[in-house]
Amino acid sequence: TTAVDSQGDVMLKLTKNESTTKLLVSSKTLTLASIVFKAMFNGKFAEGQGLSTATPPEVELPDDDPVLMEMLCNITHLRASHILEDLSLSNLADFAILCDKYACVGAVYPWVKLWVQKPLSKPKQPDYEKLVLITYLMDLPQEFFTATQCLVRDRAACIDPEVAAHGHEFLPAKLL
């Protein structure tokens, strides 16, 4: 168990490859960062019933990556010293998808804006196309422009739409 908030009132339970991670978090903090968490914890759903610092209920999030969810929680709980300084483009794409899923792009915006700067300047690196998805989902118009401009200018002959979409169909087809 990781106490993202030692006074947390809910335990997020994440499972990956039969390994379980539990994150003690503040439902209030998550509701401020995400309308999805706000709906989840407002009391109308089972997840929002019986929130308590004494015996925090467990909320299972079986589809979410434990490392990336912990990163999201560290950001929303303002635990800067626990946030990675760099993410691979693949992890950054997965993180952007997670943030889009929970509608918390605004809460992580400064971190993602910082993380994309380094790979943005390296258009020849593998998976550069993923920056199209990342900047699109994270509402980074200037970075989106830069990424697409570099792809068209520097790699027009070898753009892989499947790499850009990262296995999802978030991007409008006309972008690819």
71, part of any domain: no
Candidates 170, 115, 166, 175; CA nearest to 145 is: 175
Q: Are residues 56 and 90 in the same domain?
A: no
Q: Are residues 54 and 92 in the same domain?
A: no
| Residue of 172 and 122 predicted with greater confidence | 122
Question: How many angstroms separate the Cα of 18 from the Cα of each of 62, 69, 95, 123?
Answer: 11, 17, 21, 37
pTM summary value: 0.85
Q: What is the pLDDT of residue 8?
A: 93
- Give the 3-state secondary structure of residue 154: helix
Tell me: pLDDT of 162 over 90.
no
- Give the 3-state secondary structure of residue 114: helix
Q: What is the pLDDT of residues 102-135, one digit of tens each?
A: 999 999 999 999 999 999 999 888 889 899 999 9
Q: Are residues 89 and 144 in the same domain?
A: yes
Query: Whole-angstrom Cα distance, residue 37 to residue 64?
Result: 14
166, part of any domain: yes
> What tokens appear for 127 in the block?
């998976």
Q: Are residues 30 and 100 in the same domain?
A: no
